[in-house]
Structure formats: structure tokens, C-alpha cells
Amino acid sequence: METQPIVNRTTPLDIGTDWRLHGAARGVLARYLNRGKLLTPEQQADPKTYADCIHWCLPGLPDTWNHFIYAHIISRPLTTSS
């Protein structure tokens, strides 16, 4: 196991990147979902304040993100480039 950083390298670092796949992926249009608002804490999320378990018994944020991402994917029309 290495415990010290590599210094004074004279050869390029080969980390096994598949540059053919990298080149193909560069032309693919990608859309990103801004999930910043989903991470905003709310006062209702504290069970001590309201003494209920609704926020802990229902699906959590990862489940909500999955629903949003899935809905976003299936709502986009399928386009093919020629």
C-alpha cells in the first residue's frame, strides 16, 4: 500500500480511461435536474416540533428524487439524430 503521494512524475499517468467511449459520450446532450430546493430544510421536518412521524414513516428524499428523475426522463419526447 502506498502511503506517500507520487511526486516528480515524468511519464503520463495511465488510469485506464477508454478514450473511444469518452469521445462518443462527448456528443451526447445531457440534462441535469437541480435538486437544490429539495435539500432546503423545513421546520416541519423536525419530529420533535410537531410530535408526529409522518416525515419518518413516508418515503424519503432519495425516493422523491427518483420519482422526479423518472418523470423527467419519461416526459421528454424521444428524439433521434440523423
Which residues have C-beta within 8 Å of that of residue 69, sequence separation ≥ 6? Answer: 33
pLDDT band at 6 (very low <50, low <70, confident <90, very high): confident
Closest CA to 58 of 69, 47, 71, 48: 47
Q: For 10-29, how does the pLDDT look when each residue is reduced to its tens digit (9 = 90+)?
A: 877 677 778 888 888 887 77
Contact call for residues 65 and 32 (beta carbons, < 8 A): no
User: What backbone torsions phi and psi does residue 38 show, to the nearest 5 degrees?
Assistant: -70, -25
Q: For 34-82, how does the pLDDT look when each residue is reduced to its tens digit (9 = 90+)?
A: 766 666 655 555 556 555 555 556 667 777 778 888 888 788 776 666 5
Dihedral angle sign, alpha carbons of residues 47, 57, 62, 78? negative
Q: Does pTM surpass 0.95? A: no
